[in-house]
């Protein structure tokens, strides 16, 4: 029977919904983010790293994602001073709310317009799920202080360049653009939006927005049901619909399906749909302006296209919205082929800075889903391992550690990744198992006999693995995977093996 313990040991576990990242998980992400930063820099965007901690007051209390209004932040209260209660602080849940705070705080010192990019973790106090963590990376670029469509067009062009730069070839992605004003115009026409009382039907429009945003998942029929009475999903749960009449729902469905073969034809169709709405016409005009700017920059419909079915879920967008979808197929968890899907999205939000300053400050920006894009690059075999295993110098004689240290020093000075085995050297088999776990390309062995004769044994572990795999194959039959070289030739021989690897 176990004795009851006095002080139980702490559990060695990350909190629920958090995880650690090891080796190439860290370096591949860093490499991808660095490539992205290079493109952003070329576009004139400046780096910003804002504090991870904000006052709850500055953040606003809830996530902007209208689909999860109760999803929260990690927050705590500071110690107060005397009678005065302490501030409530919280971890940032995205990069946009902090940008609004930074811009309002530093606007006199920042260039105007201000283009900035930022990369880093954000935290959400949500129920974790498979592949859904409470800490994850975001990588955002925004332009604050200009209402010009050139800013939106530029960000779409930059997104296109970024995808190609990190390794998604043209043809494997599409940047889709749309405009919230067009949707609002369509709603006006359908009678679900009254320009003189914009708050009326806001609830219904929220449902419409979220329904369209789920087109991918629900299909036309599912969206249609949500526009009307509502929808029962596979599990039997019922989601309330917007209660639109058939005629209203048809108008909205017509908007979603307004995409034509060319941008010009789509624009013409949209003008028909918003006939009679000033807002709608302005929105189509903005789309036209963006499309012509993009065309002038060489970004044609094979990379960036107008697609009225793109609406984005966030409530705060006021004009252009855009998203990048990867169009190549992968197998989903059930082995079915499907498009990889969205990896980035954004749009124009003209009201966020106003919370602080009272003045409307127009802004537009994009956020890349770092983990999804990285997964796409891995799926396409675009990430080379940046973490080659080290050469392992084994320890045959623990009193000659200095000799082994001199070997690794020599290898490292030549730029080769190298380690001495630092575990208990007694069992040589363990040393080779360690080299295997480290994915070492080469092991070096220098026992007393070798030392005396001025030689070292070099074990080519890559070749060794190949021989083991294809033992009967002629090609490898006569090539030894271990050989002896004079100590002075160790470096040259290791370099030769690594160059051939």
Taking the complex as a whole, how short is the minimal distance between the CB of residue 461 and its own copies, in angstroms? 15
Nearer to its own copies, 153 or 311 (CB): 153
Residue 96 among known ligand-binding residues = yes
Taking the complex as a whole, how short is the minimal distance between the CB of residue 412 and its own copies, in angstroms? 5
Contact pattern for its own copies over residues 419 through 438, marking x by CB under 8 A: xx-xx----------x--xx
Ordered DSSP codes for 50-72:
--SEEEHHHH-SS-S-TT-TT-B
Site for its own copies in 398-417 (CB under 8 A): 401-406, 408-409, 412, 415-417
The contacts of residue 445 (CB under 8 Å, 6+ apart) are 394, 396, 456, 457, 458, 459
Residue 378 among known ligand-binding residues = no
> What is the enclosing helix (H) or strand (E) of 9?
none
Taking the complex as a whole, how short is the minimal distance between the CB of residue 83 and its own copies, in angstroms? 18
Query: Is 270 within 8 Å of 284 (Cβ atoms)?
Result: yes
Residue 317 among known ligand-binding residues = yes
Site for its own copies in 241-300 (CB under 8 A): 292-293, 295-298
Nearer to its own copies, 59 or 227 (CB): 59
Positive or negative, the CA dihedral 270, 276, 279, 285 is: positive
How many other CB atoms are there within 10 angstroms of residue 159's CB atom? 27
Nearer to its own copies, 398 or 473 (CB): 398
The contacts of residue 378 (CB under 8 Å, 6+ apart) are 28
Strand order of the β-sheet with 418-420 is 418-420, 391-393, 442-445, 455-460, 482-486
Q: How many residues bind its own copies (CB under 8 A)?
A: 100
Phi and psi at 197, nearest 5°, equal -145, 75
Site for its own copies in 83-142 (CB under 8 A): 87, 89, 91, 101-102, 104-106, 111-113, 115, 121, 123, 134-135
Nearer to its own copies, 327 or 357 (CB): 357
The CB-side HSE value for 338 (13 A sphere, CA atoms) comes to 10
Contact pattern for its own copies over residues 43 through 82, marking x by CB under 8 A: xx-xxxxxxxxxx-xx-x-------------xxx-x----
Taking the complex as a whole, how short is the minimal distance between the CB of residue 148 and its own copies, in angstroms? 5
Site for its own copies in 341-400 (CB under 8 A): 355-358, 387, 390
Residue 470 among known ligand-binding residues = no
Nearer to its own copies, 49 or 474 (CB): 49
Residue 253 among known ligand-binding residues = no
Site for its own copies in 188-247 (CB under 8 A): none
Taking the complex as a whole, how short is the minimal distance between the CB of residue 374 and its own copies, in angstroms? 13
Positive or negative, the CA dihedral 212, 217, 221, 226 is: negative
Exposed (0-12), middle (13-18) or buried (19+): which is 461, by Cβ within 10 Å? Answer: buried
Residue 299 among known ligand-binding residues = no
């Amino acid at each position: 029977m176990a004795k009851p313990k006095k002080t139980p040991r702490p559990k060695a576990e990350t909190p629920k919904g958090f995880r650690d990242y090891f080796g190439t998980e860290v370096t591949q992400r860093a490499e991808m983010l660095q490539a992205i930063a290079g493109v952003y820099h070329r576009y004139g965007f400046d780096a910003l790293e804002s504090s991870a901690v904000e006052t709850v007051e500055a953040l606003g209390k809830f996530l902007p994602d209208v689909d999860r209004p109760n999803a929260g932040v990690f927050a705590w209260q500071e110690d107060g001073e005397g009678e005065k209660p302490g501030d409530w602080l919280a971890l940032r849940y995205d990069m946009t709310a902090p940008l609004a705070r930074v811009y309002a705080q530093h606007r006199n010192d920042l260039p105007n317009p201000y283009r900035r990019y930022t990369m880093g973790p954000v935290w959400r106090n949500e129920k974790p799920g498979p592949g859904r963590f409470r800490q994850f990376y975001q990588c955002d670029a925004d332009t604050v202080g200009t209402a010009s469509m050139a800013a939106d067009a530029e960000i779409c062009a930059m997104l296109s360049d970024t995808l190609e730069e990190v390794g998604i070839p043209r043809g494997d992605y599409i940047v889709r653009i749309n405009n919230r004003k067009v949707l609002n115009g369509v709603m006006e026409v359908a009678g679900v939006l009254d320009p003189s009382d914009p708050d009326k039907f806001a609830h219904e429009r929220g449902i419409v927005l979220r329904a369209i945003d789920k087109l991918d998942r629900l299909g036309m029929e599912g969206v249609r049901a949500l526009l009307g009475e509502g929808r029962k999903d596979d599990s039997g749960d019922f989601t309330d619909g917007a209660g639109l009449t058939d005629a209203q729902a048809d108008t909205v469905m017509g908007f979603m399906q307004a995409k034509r073969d060319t941008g010009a034809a789509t624009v013409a169709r949209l003008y028909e749909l918003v006939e009679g709405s000033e807002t709608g016409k302005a929105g189509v005009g903005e789309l036209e302006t963006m499309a012509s700017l993009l065309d002038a920059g060489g970004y044609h419909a094979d990379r960036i296209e107008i697609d009225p079915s793109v609406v984005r879920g966030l409530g705060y967008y006021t004009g252009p919205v855009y998203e990048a979808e990867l169009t190549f197929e992968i197998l989903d968890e059930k082995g079915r082929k499907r498009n990889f899907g969205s990896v980035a999205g954004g749009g124009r939000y003209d009201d966020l800075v106003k919370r602080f300053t009272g003045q409307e400050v127009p802004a537009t920006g994009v956020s890349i889903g770092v983990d999804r894009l990285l997964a796409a690059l891995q799926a396409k075999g675009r990430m080379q391992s940046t973490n080659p295993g080290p050469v392992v110098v084994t320890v045959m004689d623990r009193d000659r550690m200095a000799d082994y240290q001199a070997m690794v020093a020599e290898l490292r000075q030549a730029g080769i990744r190298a380690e001495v085995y630092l575990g208990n050297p007694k069992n040589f088999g363990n040393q080779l198992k360690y080299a295997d776990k480290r994915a070492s390309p080469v092991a070096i062995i220098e026992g007393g006999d070798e030392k005396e004769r001025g030689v070292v044994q070099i074990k080519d572990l890559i070749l060794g693995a190949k021989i083991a795999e294809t033992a009967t194959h002629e090609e490898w039959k006569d090539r030894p995977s271990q050989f002896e070289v004079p100590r002075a030739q160790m470096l040259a021989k290791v370099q030769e093996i690594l160059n051939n690897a």
